Structure 1
Amino acid sequence: MVTARRMLQQALRVSGRGAFPLAKWMERWAEGLQGSKALRSLDDMPGPSVASFAYDLFAKRGLSRLHELQLEGLQRYGPMWKASFGPILTVHVAHPTLIEQVLRQEGLHPMRSDLSSWKDYRKLRGHHYGLLTSEGEEWQAVRSLLGKHMLRPKAVEAYDKTLNSVVGDLIAKLRFCRSPEGLVSDIASEFYRFGLEGISSVLFESRIGCLDQVVPEETERFIQSINTMFVMTLLTMAMPSWLHQLFPKPWNVFCQCWDYMFDFAKGHIDQRLTAEAEKIARGEKVEGRYLTYFLSRMGLPMKTVYSNITELLLAGVDTISSTMSWSLYELSRHPDVQTALRQEVLSVLEHRKIPDAADVARMPLLKATVKEVLRLYPVIPANARVIPERDIQVGGYLIPKNTLITLCHFATSRDPAVFKNPDDFQPSRWLAKEESHHPYASVPFGVGKRSCIGRRIAELELYLALARILIEFDVKPDPEGVSVKPMTRTLLVPENVISLQFIER
């Protein structure tokens, strides 16, 4: 009850978005804690009607505004509400304490939302599931194998030289594509290629030409396939499968994108394994640090290797592209933070120009900057869980097993009851000892067993790239630029093109 009272007091201090619905909800939640007899059912939970939610999605807002609907749901109904998305009933949770309650009850083999269209495609083509689509013991087995090489800090540090090589090519590409005034148009596009080149170097220990002056056609097509697939994911998941017969285009385009992505990954995997087999035939020693090498030697079926590498390829790209774009967008508009961050980097490196993983550990402002960017612009604006084993209690409600629960990270991290001045870019909030935050208030990579397995590699790539860019350039806004807002494309991405000036230092 102490926690409930503290949360209620916090809710009553909310200003600027109408605290009354939140305060009333917190009162009901506090009452619900007094005993299981007071537990409410889903029938008691507030939320929009099916027609109202459909109107918000498709007529008023569109699927690109799903993150904003989180904020509206929080304001209208409080931190818990239900809504129907196509055939799916979802419970939305938008408070760190409630998110923690859900994640602490997720069981031995946590389940995300059922990516039904992704799984339907794999069944159709006879592919195996990868980390993003598998569940239960199958997921746990692969997760444990990959975790040894992707989550242990010492193992990840070994990739810094590989990633620094890619960062060096990024710097050269930025110089090449600048206008005479130093303007680079559509930086997200350049960082997308950088992200793909980085994850490819880790997966294959080879380069695929994303940062060449002329990008190979097959690589460019792979990038477009990822973009289109994520757009089609929302449509295909919202449509019952029988609608695919009446409106086949979204499903057909979705499958074509996945076909190419699987073929692209399989081609690179087979190329690497063939080269190794030839070395062995010549009596040469074969060793490597790339992830395909480890997976191929763990006795997994090749279909499982293909699926996991394909999913890891697409999972790492948007994280890098979006976070890099937003980081430099905000730093260009906050020159005082940019200056302080550059001074930190130069101080740690002294007379060197290329940081490594050990250097990054001594750059708290750099880490705080990335953490603040991910709070404002979480790559995954909403995560989800399904608890199949049992009913659970969350916020005074009894949630039946197999209910889809959406964890509204965007709304939580933009809630003034959780963060002061939530829309402001303030990396210092993560450094101030007097300012503490609930550990589940901003969890852009997830928490626990189902957290992002590529988190440490992605963070290292981000840190190395941002540090190097600030050493080489002063980053300034586009003189003719406008304010850019986020939009939902399954993931959260910039709504408009971000262009920035990179002025040589």
Structure 2
Amino acid sequence: MEYRKHRRRSLGVLLQSGDEWWSRRSSLNRELLAPAAVSRQATPLGGVARDFALRLDALRGAAGGEGHVAGLENELFKFALESVCSALFGERLGLLSPMVPPDSQRFIEAIATMFHSTVPMLVVPVRLHRVLNTKTWRRHCQAWDVIFSYADRWIQKSLLSFRADSSGDGGDGGGSAAPHGSIMANLLKRDTLSLDDLAASVTELMAGGVDTTSITLHWALMELARDPSLQEELRSEVTKAMTPGS
């Protein structure tokens, strides 16, 4: 919150409270939690998951006979960000390709720096860090600057695509307008949030959706690796659920 004040940025739903929080949360819930909205993301997120499985398989093959995936934590971060942005903007970032775009890698690293620099400010009041302009505060601000800069570019791209599509200028087949199923496009169509509020909340979804997803998956994979019988049980359950007509 102190960073938002420092940079004069709007608060997203993560940092709001009371009636203001409830109003914005209700608007977001229609595109984030409603069953119909969630089902729209099944196909694009399924594509991301398949590409991630192929990526892991390629990394295991490159490792030789050991079959280990080096840097799994970073790979999970990339998978999480690719998934989040695919749902938010209806576009793929290319994070699961052999060559990751440098700005996307900087975004991932900035999220890690942001969380690491937050810990000391939970002990010493953040306002004191700001007044003294400590190294921790500077690193924290720099990380958030990278996060917001990256998010702003994608938000503006989505906004321009939406406006072009709404005005009938995006139908030449050569553009990359986000499909109507994207969360961002549907929130823009609903027009229940100001652009500042929408940008703040979308940025928080991008930043907050990466570490929470990747760390949870990391622990889940570790527990599955410790119990091969549980792996087979899970595989059987998923296969049965995905079988047509089951």
Question: Which TM-score bucket, shorter chain as reference?
Answer: 0.7 to 0.9
The residue aligned with 1:300 is 193
Higher helix share: 2
Matched, 1:255 2:137: no
> Do 2:77 and 2:210's aligned partners in 1 also have CA atoms closer than 8 Å?
yes
Aligned amino acid, residue 100 of structure 2: V
Give the CA RMSD over aligned residues: 2.1
The residue aligned with 2:162 is 276
Matched, 1:332 2:225: yes
> Do 2:90 and 2:182's aligned partners in 1 also have CA atoms closer than 8 Å?
yes
Pairing of 1:30-69 with structure 2 (within 5 A):
none
> Do 1:162 and 1:202's aligned partners in 2 also have CA atoms closer than 8 Å?
yes
Pairing of 1:286-365 with structure 2 (within 5 A):
288-297=180-189, 298-350=191-243
Q: Percent identity?
A: 33
The residue aligned with 1:227 is 112
Structure 1 residues 187 and 165: CA distance shift in structure 2, 3 A:
same
Aligned amino acid, residue 180 of structure 1: G
Calculate the TM-score normalised by the size of structure 2: 0.88
Pairing of 1:483-502 with structure 2 (within 5 A):
none
**Secondary structure, counterpart of 1:183 in structure 2:** coil
User: How far apart are the structure 2 equivalents of 1:315 and 1:242?
Assistant: 25
Matched, 1:180 2:33: no
1:228 CA displacement: 0.7
1:79-100 Cα offsets, whole Å, 9 max, x none, are xxxxxxxxxxxxxxxxxxxxxx
1:223 CA displacement: 0.3
1:94-146 Cα offsets, whole Å, 9 max, x none, are xxxxxxxxxxxxxxxxxxxxxxxxx1111111110001111112111110001
User: How far apart are the structure 2 equivalents of 1:347 and 1:272?
Assistant: 38
User: How far apart are the structure 1 equivalents of 2:188 and 2:30?
Assistant: 15
Structure 1 residues 329 and 139: CA distance shift in structure 2, 3 A:
same
Q: Which has the larger radius of gyration?
A: 1
Structure 1 residues 247 and 239: CA distance shift in structure 2, 3 A:
farther
Aligned amino acid, residue 182 of structure 2: Y
More relative contact order in 1 or in 2 (CA 8 Å, sep 6+)?
2
> Do 2:52 and 2:96's aligned partners in 1 also have CA atoms closer than 8 Å?
yes
User: How far apart are the structure 2 equivalents of 1:131 and 1:123?
Assistant: 15
Higher strand share: 1
Aligned amino acid, residue 135 of structure 1: S
1:243-271 Cα offsets, whole Å, 9 max, x none, are 44446111111011111111111100111
Aligned pairs, number: 235
Q: Structure 2 regions of 5+ residues with no counterpart?
A: 172-176
Calculate the TM-score normalised by the size of structure 1: 0.44
1:347 CA displacement: 3.1
1:176-196 Cα offsets, whole Å, 9 max, x none, are 211122211232221111011
User: How far apart are the structure 1 equivalents of 2:56 and 2:83?
Assistant: 16
Pairing of 1:16-415 with structure 2 (within 5 A):
119-178=1-60, 179-181=63-65, 182-240=67-125, 241-246=127-132, 248-283=134-169, 288-297=180-189, 298-350=191-243
Q: Structure 1 regions of 5+ residues with no counterpart?
A: 1-118, 353-358, 363-505
